[in-house]
Structure 1
Amino acid sequence: MLFNQATQTLRFLTLMSSLFCVTLVMAQDADNTDVTDNNETMRDATARPRRPLNNRAHRNMDATKAYRDLAYTADAHPRQTLDLFVPEQSDGPVPLIIWVHGGGWAAGSKDSCPPLRSGYTQRGYAVASIGYRLSGDAVFPAQIEDCKAAVRWLRAHSKQYNLDSEHFAAWGSSAGGHLVALLGTSGHETSFDVGDHLDQSSRVQAVCDYYGPTDLLQMDSHAIPSAVLKHNSPRSPESRLIGGPILENKDKAARVNPIPYITKDAPPFLIVHGDQDPTVAHHQSQLLYNALKEAGVRVRFHTLEGAGHGNGFGGPELDAMVQGFFDQHLKGKSPSDDQLIAIATSSPAVNRNPNAKPSALVPQTRRPLAEQRSDQRRGIPWQVIERREDSNSDGRVSRSEFKGPPILFNRLDRNGDGNLTQEDFADDAGERDDAKTSEAVPN
């Protein structure tokens, strides 16, 4: 009897551990892209209640028209909507950047839109942030069908919103990176085009893929030693995406992979991935780069040395690279004849935490599971939480403001006071004192 009880307890703890890892990764994945917050939403053209704007947003209120919660299909699911941001002034139709959020295909939302925060509407672009059905709502291919339906809707309404329908780009991170890659490679694949506006093309003219998965069946075999999430598990985000264990449904897993759809007519790609990503192995982007290169598709693969799953991204070099990519392929600036079709480059990751130890951005060796989970918690910087969740700009995030899962809030709230502050993100008492001191010193 004691043996049976012990066995049942072990199974329960194993299950809870797996569920916790999946939940935590999805929460981190929802918007872990570290993009400098240059501009936020400016002026809402609808009657939807808005959260309070900070001073920086108020300074740009007249720069952008915002259209929110636009349904892109008939009888839309609540997630089959998009937000559209268009420059107030332009000389003609403007190119469009379409943002697709991450979240393990099971979490996240269109509400966080890095291209908007980075000021692309002030650079002469329109920006759309699209929602799509998550794996808890419907299994694949619902997610790519929704993305394609959104693209077709945007083209069908391009004149109404002053969009240049010949110059659409897709940009996404993690699960969103996977979906934009699949958008790019499956432009000719009609089986994913279902629903409304089928007379419109779902092709995009450029793709920026931040650390998106490709071959689900190779994710575990190339994971870094410190990786915790097991993608081959029947409870993994990938298995939930296709509606069954990926190892028992290899044909369904293969259909998710953007690589088999590649043709020489695929649009140009910019792929960015950290070589210490514990969630989506760097190898996943290497596979995509190799296949695009072999097909003769214009592609740049940039590795951030020491970067994790979005951690270590950003900085002037990467920002200029992404903007240059969009300027080149959406604003009619053709590459010179002598420019390489395929190129792989690298640069050091950006360390945005001045208190981080030097080893934080170098390859990690296997460590105890408790330490790995602690690092996962710290993988969400306070600046990201504050920017995304602090709706009243009071320097703290209450439980009611936090849009992530309650289990994650409880782990982040280290002092248990029901609010998230910078103090909760310090590793020990000494670092908390440093954090308090830094708050009083202007950046």
Structure 2
Amino acid sequence: MAPGDTSTSTVLTADGPQIACGKAKVDRHADITYASPTTAGTKVDLKMDVLVPAAEGAQPAVVYLPGGGFANASKEAALDQRTYVAEAGFVVASIQYRTTTNGATYLDAVKDVRSAVRYLRAHAAEYGIDPEHIAVYGESAGGYLAAMVGTTNGVKDFEAGDNLDLSGDVQAVVDKFGPSDLAKIGADFDAAAQQANVRPGNNAARWVFGQGTTKSVTADPAAVKRANPVTYVDPTDPAFLLLHGDDDRLVSPSQTLLVHNALRANGVDTTRYVVKGAGHGDLAFVGDPQSGMLWTTQKVMDPIVNFLTSHLKS
């Protein structure tokens, strides 16, 4: 794997204790339908789980976006991490969004996230939310979506559904190892991995062009450009926190560097951490139960909480 450029990033050694939950009371609300869009003629009830801290007054909200290779989006993912953030004084909503399994593309999924943000604003009193301060926080495909949502604040093409009188914009973004240029996901890897990432009809291609496509993500540069977060970066974007493992073998570490550099060039508040020895999040589902532990250390999670506190509570 090509060595990464860390000249504008902070390198973290994720040793020390794991996060611990249970220090503060958090109420849990499960399986709330926040939107019911139709894709390919089929209506999908999209659900969210909401963690509400026992705190005085309205609290900022964080919308958690799970990964899943654009094919799955399990709102049950990363419970410990979400609870840790909630216990720090944030309402945390973990959401399903449409994927290629539903026949959806990136356009649908970005609209879903914005629908979730508007839903939380519409129900702010019910869940004790400060509607002026909402962030998105995603991993992998969810990190990509977080970056897309943050860089498309105010872009009406990505708004659809209910509560359109309210804003779907966000005030901060946490992007953990998300792609930012779908034609270059494998850019840091060997030739075989690079080729797999641009194979015609693969999941990245379906994410852009739709189910049944025979195109490659290299076949239509203009269409792929419209699907890339880095395309939409401008000086009005909210603050970003980006994190990537230097041993990520699924999404090239240079992907978060691309959007970090674009944000810096536009004068946007952006911070990027490179986690030494870390791979692509929790890979227990492929037989690596230890892989996620670097990502749940206090040394990694506390900068996330501090970033959210600084940009949502100040």
Q: TM-score range by the shorter chain?
A: 0.7 to 0.9
Cα distance in 2 for partners of 1:143, 1:192 equals 9
Equivalent runs, 1:145-294 vs 2, <5 Å? 145-223=111-189, 227=193, 230-242=196-208, 243=210, 244=213, 245-294=216-265
1:102 to 59, 67, 79: 67
Equivalent runs, 1:340-351 vs 2, <5 Å? none
Secondary structure of 1:127's partner?
strand
Alpha-carbon contact 1:224-1:277 (below 8 Å) kept: no
1:181 is displaced (CA, Å) by: 0.6
Aligned pair in 2 of structure 1 residues 252, 171: CA closer, same or farther (>3 Å)?
same
One-letter amino acid matched to 1:314:
T
Aligned pair in 2 of structure 1 residues 226, 318: CA closer, same or farther (>3 Å)?
farther
Q: Give the superposed CA RMSD.
A: 2.3
2:33 to 62, 71, 79: 71
One-letter amino acid matched to 2:72:
A
Alpha-carbon contact 2:66-2:73 (below 8 Å) kept: yes
Alpha-carbon contact 2:81-2:296 (below 8 Å) kept: no
1:289 is displaced (CA, Å) by: 0.7
Cα distance in 2 for partners of 1:115, 1:145 equals 27
Equivalent residue for 2:89?
124
One-letter amino acid matched to 2:66:
H
Cα distance in 2 for partners of 1:108, 1:229 equals 25
2:312 to 290, 313, 330: 330
Aligned pair in 2 of structure 1 residues 282, 224: CA closer, same or farther (>3 Å)?
farther
Secondary structure of 1:216's partner?
coil
Unaligned runs of 5+ residues in structure 2 are 1-16, 282-290
1:161 is displaced (CA, Å) by: 1.5
One-letter amino acid matched to 1:173:
E
Deviation readout 1:335-362 (Å, 9 max, x if unpaired): xxxxxxxxxxxxxxxxxxxxxxxxxxxx
Cα distance in 2 for partners of 1:114, 1:280 equals 23
TM-score normalised by length of structure 2: 0.81
Deviation readout 1:270-308 (Å, 9 max, x if unpaired): 100012211100111110011000000000011112321
Cα distance in 2 for partners of 1:239, 1:69 equals 30
1:327 is displaced (CA, Å) by: 1.1
1:36 is displaced (CA, Å) by: 4.8
Cα distance in 1 for partners of 2:61, 2:152 equals 19
Deviation readout 1:50-83 (Å, 9 max, x if unpaired): xxxxxx7xx97xx222222212224674451211
Alpha-carbon contact 1:36-1:118 (below 8 Å) kept: no
Cα distance in 1 for partners of 2:37, 2:305 equals 36
Aligned pair in 2 of structure 1 residues 109, 305: CA closer, same or farther (>3 Å)?
same
Cα distance in 1 for partners of 2:191, 2:303 equals 30
Deviation readout 1:3-45 (Å, 9 max, x if unpaired): xxxxxxxxxxxxxxxxxxxxxxxxxxxxxxxx95633xxxxxx
Cα distance in 2 for partners of 1:85, 1:161 equals 9
Sequence identity percentage: 33
1:108 is displaced (CA, Å) by: 3.5
Larger mean CA deviation between 320-329 and 216-225 belongs to 216-225
Which of the pair has more CA radius of gyration?
A: 1
Equivalent residue for 2:76?
111
Matched residue count: 277
Query: RCO higher in 1 or 2 (8 Å CA, sep ≥ 6)?
Result: 2
Cα distance in 1 for partners of 2:145, 2:80 equals 17
Cα distance in 2 for partners of 1:73, 1:318 equals 32
TM-score normalised by length of structure 1: 0.59
Equivalent residue for 2:285?
none
Unaligned runs of 5+ residues in structure 1 are 1-34, 40-55, 333-443
| Structure with the higher fraction of residues in strand conformation | 2
